[in-house]
Chains A and B, each alone.
Chain A
Amino acid sequence: MGQKLAILGAGDVGRSVADLAGEYGHEVVALADSSTAVVDPDGIDVEAALERKVGGESVGTADPEAVFETDYDVLVEATPTTLGDAEPGFSHVERALEADRHVVLANKGPVAERYEELQALEADSAGSVRFEATVGGAIPVLSTIEDETPQAVTAVRGVLNGTANFILTRMAAEGLDYEHVLAEAQDLGVAEADPTFDVDGTDAALKFVILANVLADGGFALEDADVTGIQNIPGSALDLAAEDGRTIRLIGEATREGVRVAPRLVPENGPLAVTGTRNIVQIETKNAGSLHSSGRGAGGPETATAVLSDVGRLPEL
């Protein structure tokens, strides 16, 4: 049976979820951007709302508050990730759970920064929280860990930031320096105008903090992660790595003991040396060796598939 979705956030991910929901058998009853909303208990006209949004108008005429008054089954939280108190994302989740609704997060903030509070809210609610989309976009990372059971997973390693990976790949392939490749990545739209979060390792760290929280059942926030970015890596370092059949990738590691993100030497032809904006995770298990999963870790439709997979796993309320 389809679920009634209320979507908060009308960026790439929120819009893609709205766009694809029908294909997955769900109905969108509310869609809100930061200042307005469109709400209809019988299902909103998604196409019209998206056209308005893309045309630079507001998504609707209603107050975003109206979303919480709607009869929805699942709140999709796709507002931008914020650090520290993870607001306003966290309060959105809180309101939905207190109303005994399900929540699916694409927003990394609450899961990375306030995991234990989230778990406590979920325990008191008839609703459930899922957040596959927060780690590795289209790649089923968290559901794989769930299938293996977190206790049987000893570590998760990998490349979970496409921008940093694109830059390192181009530097190695073309013998170019960081600044040059960054400018190229910005021209191509791979890197944002302000790429700080991607290149200083913060974005990858948030994802590995979420993974550590899942493995250890909480206990981690961004400040607990040991993070080094790629800004100081010159082309010459990649050349030297290649002399020994290695390359450098921004690798994250999450275990029950901690989180570390840093540029690391990996075999040039090894599984973790993915190229371009591709992501990869290696899930090390106690009894089944290592599992690898690679794919698109970002992008609206890609991330939306992770949100909609989560919606499909939720029980009916």
Chain B
Amino acid sequence: MVDEPVVSEDDEEGDDPETDGGVQAYTVRLELVDEPGELLRALSPIAENGGNLLSIHHERGNITPRGHIPVEVDLECPPDRFEDIVEALRDAGVNVIQAGADRYGEEINVVLVGHLVDTDLSHTLNRIQEETSAAVLDLSLSAPEGTENISSARLRLAIDSGEAEETLAQIRTIGTDKELTVVEPLLGGDA
């Protein structure tokens, strides 16, 4: 494991290390199926597209709600090659959770409003996990009027790359079924 500072999404906008050759460091977060050879399969599109691997953080013990293994890969490449690398990963069927800055971020928040407790919150969460490709990462509930009244919950969701619109539409349907208001994030533009 190479032990050196890594550019995470937090300091992406700051003074990124940029070497003389215009190469920049990036982090991509992947989700891999727990099968032999998967890691190698995920790394080859990076090497084939001019990326230089810096470190691989393979969280074997940490399984995502969908039973996949999260892997964090640090690499460096010229900025104009980064998109090609991400695309090559996706073409190879690798699930890219996050690539560089927020732009590729596939973690979203939604706020649910309504009689969340009365309408069985865990059932609502189960439906989201089962009927959509989203995984609920965490939940924050606020019920200042007591659990018999209107309350709100914020869900942090991991979703498959490029499927935000579809996932949100499915969550909206679940919300309608359960008479909950779904406050969705605004995804378009540079909002």
| A contact set with B: CB distance below 8 Å | 155, 157, 228, 232-237, 239-241, 243-244, 246, 248, 251, 253, 262-267, 270-272, 282, 284, 289-290
In the complex formed, the residue of A with least CB distance to B110 is A265
Interface size class of B (residues with CB under 8 A): 20 to 34
Please report the C-alpha to C-alpha distance between residue A174 and residue B188 in the assembled complex, in whole angstroms: 29
Query: In residues 73-90 of chain B, which contact A (Cβ within 8 Å)?
Result: none
Q: How far is the CB of B143 from chain A (nearest CB, A)?
A: 7
Contacts of B14 in A (CB 8 A): none
Taking a contact as CB atoms closer than 8 A, the residue among A237, A241, A243, A267 that contacts B191 in the complex is A267
* Contacts known (A243-B140, A244-B109); A234 close to B152, Cβ less than 8 A: yes
Please report the C-alpha to C-alpha distance between residue A251 and residue B185 in the assembled complex, in whole angstroms: 10
* Contacts known (A232-B181, A240-B154, A265-B184); A282 close to B109, Cβ less than 8 A: no
Taking a contact as CB atoms closer than 8 A, the residue among B145, B156, B181, B183 that contacts A241 in the complex is B183
Contacts of B186 in A (CB 8 A): 157, 251, 253, 264-266, 272
Do the beta carbons of B189 and A265 come within 8 Å of each other? no
Query: In residues 90-143 of chain B, which contact A (Cβ within 8 Å)?
Result: 109-111, 113-114, 140, 142-143
Please report the C-alpha to C-alpha distance between residue A243 and residue B142 in the assembled complex, in whole angstroms: 11
The binding surface of chain B is classed by DSSP as: strand
Contacts of B185 in A (CB 8 A): 246, 264-266
Contacts of B140 in A (CB 8 A): 240, 243
Please report the C-alpha to C-alpha distance between residue A265 and residue B186 in the assembled complex, in whole angstroms: 6
Contacts of A271 in B (CB 8 A): 190-191
Interface string of B135-177 (1 = CB under 8 A from A): 0000010111100001111101000000000000000000000
Q: List 11 A-B contacts (CB under 8 A).
A: A155-B188, A232-B113, A233-B113, A234-B150, A236-B151, A237-B152, A243-B140, A243-B154, A244-B154, A251-B191, A265-B109
Contacts of B188 in A (CB 8 A): 155, 157, 253, 284
Taking a contact as CB atoms closer than 8 A, the residue among A264, A267, A272, A289 that contacts B183 in the complex is A264
Taking a contact as CB atoms closer than 8 A, the residue among B143, B156, B191 that contacts A272 in the complex is B191
Taking a contact as CB atoms closer than 8 A, the residue among A248, A270, A284 that contacts B111 in the complex is A248
